């Protein structure tokens, strides 16, 4: 729902996931042997595929995003972003040869609505499964509701 140009948050928690990784030549295996999840009576799935805000750190040091703490605000507030489909290889999506051959940090951001009972239960284990990423990746989450009473805090800590 949109009012006065601002998104009105529902009772469910909002999670903005910022996914960034260095683009080199490897794959992150979060947990070897982990099977693909399947929906069941005891397991809910939340697909994160779709369009994500995307920005490559094109600074000379390739470290501007960390130095300026891009993760503390919306990615679009840090500079120009483009919509990037996930899953996809950003190297093959655009016609920009500098992005096709880019080596360095790239940033992805997506806002996700979390079902209220995931937070209210306090005992819900939430697993973020990243299907393919570089061997060195960073995931930052920003919750609009506190995780201080949730078991999720053991695994994902909100950024300040």
Write down the domain spans for the chain: 2-154
Cβ pair 23, 91 in contact under 8 A: yes
- Tell me what pLDDT residue 52 has: 94
Tokens read off for 78 = 């840090």
pTM of the entire structure? 0.67
User: Which CATH number describes the domain made up of 2-154?
Assistant: 2.60.120.260
- Tell me what pLDDT residue 43 has: 84
Strands 137-143 and 82-86: unpaired
**38-45: long-range contacts at Cβ-Cβ below 8 A with a sequence spacing of 24 or more?**
44/115, 44/118
Which run of H or of E encompasses 102?
none
pLDDT in tens, the chain (160 residues): 444 444 444 434 555 555 555 443 333 334 445 667 788 887 888 888 999 999 999 999 999 999 999 988 999 999 999 999 998 889 899 999 999 999 999 999 998 888 888 877 777 777 777 777 776 777 777 664 433 333 434 455 444 4
């Amino acid at each position: 729902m949109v009012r006065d140009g601002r998104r009105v948050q529902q009772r469910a928690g909002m999670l903005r996931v910022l996914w960034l990784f260095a683009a080199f030549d490897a794959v992150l295996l979060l947990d070897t042997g982990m099977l693909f999840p399947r929906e069941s009576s005891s397991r809910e799935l939340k697909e994160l595929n779709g369009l994500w805000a995307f920005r490559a750190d094109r600074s000379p040091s390739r470290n501007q995003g960390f130095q300026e703490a891009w993760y503390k605000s919306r990615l679009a507030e840090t500079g120009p972003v483009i919509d990037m489909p996930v899953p996809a290889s950003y190297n093959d999506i655009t016609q920009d040869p500098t992005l096709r051959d880019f080596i360095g940090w790239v940033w992805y951001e997506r806002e996700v609505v979390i079902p209220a009972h995931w937070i209210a239960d306090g005992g819900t284990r939430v697993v973020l499964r990243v299907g393919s990423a570089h061997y060195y990746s960073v995931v930052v989450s920003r919750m609009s509701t506190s995780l201080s009473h949730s078991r999720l805090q053991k695994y994902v800590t909100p950024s300040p």
